[in-house]
Amino acid sequence: MSQSKITYTKDGPFFIIKFNSPESLNAMTSQDYIHLATLLKLAEKDPEVYFTVLQSSGRFFSSGADFKFISEYKDVLTGIEKDNTGGDHAARETQLTKVWLDGFLSTNVHVTDIFINHSKVLIACLNGPVVGLSAAIVALCDIVYAMNDDVYMLCPFSRLGLTCEGGTSITLPMKLGMNSTFESLMFAQKIKMDKLMGNIVVKNYKLNDTDEFNKVIMEELKTKIKTLYLPSCLAMKKLLRSSLNDELDKMNSKEVNQALPFWVDGVPLNRFRQMFHNKQRVRGQRADSKL
C-alpha cells in the first residue's frame, strides 16, 4: 500500500489531509479510500482539531476510483465461472455477491459513514475537477473553496452502470436543487462552476497555482478564526447535521443495496474495463475530456 499518496499535517486547530498523486490525477484504490477514512478518524479523536481540511495537488482534485483494480478481478471471476459450469445459478450469485461486497461496496459504505459522521468542520479545497466517489465525498464537506473556473464535479454513474453512491442521493438534491441534480446524474454531465458557485462552492479564488491556492486558504482561515470560540463551531455543526445525518445513514445503506445487483450482473466491471481501454488509447493526457 502506497500510503504516501495521502499524507497529513497538523497546524493548530487544523488537520490538513493532502492527496499527493498528481501523476495519476489522484485516482484512489479501495485501500486509499480506507486510509483516507483512517486519517479522518485520527482527526476525529484529536481534541485539538476543529477543522479537517482536504487539499490536493496537480491538475485534478481526484479523478475517483482507480480503474487498475479491475485486472485484479479477472482471475477471481474466471474461477467463479469455472466452479459453476454445471449451472448452479444460486451458488454463482452467492460467490459474486461476496466478491463485490468485499471488493467494492463495503469500502464505499465505510468511507461514506466516516465522512457523514465526522464531527469536525470539513473543508475541501478544489484545485481542479473531482469525479465519482471523490465527488461524493466533496459533496459531504461543509465548506468548499474552488481555485478557478476549471473546477467541476462529475458523477458518471449512469455511464458506468452504477447508481448514486457516497450519499449523493441526498447531498446533491439538497445542495444543487432536485431538477439540476436529475439533469446532471441522469445524463452523466459535468457540474460546472456556474452551477457549483453559491451552492457547493462558497468562494472562487481565481488562482492558477495549486500551492498558492492551498497556502492562501490556510492564511485566510487562520485570520477568520482569531476571535472565535472554537467549541461553538463543533456544537453548531452537530446541530446543523442533526437531522441530515440520519437521512444520510439511511441512504448510504439503500444506495449500496441498489448497486449490488448491477455489480453481480457484471455491468460496472465491463464498463470500467471499456473505459480503461479507451483511456489508455488516448494516453491519459486528455483524460478529463473523456470522463
Pairing of strands 191-192, 152-154: antiparallel
Site for a second copy in 89-118 (CB under 8 A): 90-91, 93-95, 97-98, 101-102, 105-107, 109-110, 113, 117
DSSP annotation string for 68-136: THHHHHHHHHHHHHHHTTT--HHHHHHHHHHHHIIIIIHHHHHHHHHHHT--SEEEEEESS-EEHHHHH
Give the per-residue contact string, 154-183, with a second copy (x = CB under 8 A; - = no).
---xxxxxxxx----xx--xxx-xxxxxxx
52 binds a second copy per the rule CB under 8 A:
no
Q: Is the CB of 55 or the CB of 95 nearer to a second copy?
A: 95
Whose CA is closest to 63, among 119, 24, 95? 24
- Determine the interface stretch with a second copy among 19-27, 71-79, 193-201, 207-215 (rule: CB under 8 A): 193-201
Whose CA is closest to 136, among 112, 158, 117? 112
Cell output for 15: 488537520
Q: Is the CB of 25 or the CB of 195 nearer to a second copy?
A: 195
266 binds a second copy per the rule CB under 8 A:
no
Give the per-residue contact string, 111-150, with a second copy (x = CB under 8 A; - = no).
--x---x---x-------------------xxxx------
229 binds a second copy per the rule CB under 8 A:
yes
Residue 212: CB minimum distance to a second copy, A: 21
In the sheet that 191-192 helps form, which strands lie side by side, from edge to edge? 130-131, 152-154, 191-192
Residue 46: CB minimum distance to a second copy, A: 12
Cell output for 173: 438534491
Q: What is the distance between the alpha carbons of residues 169 and 200, in angstroms, rounded to a whole number?
A: 15
Annotation marks residue 165 as catalytic: yes
41 binds a second copy per the rule CB under 8 A:
yes
Active site amino acids: 165
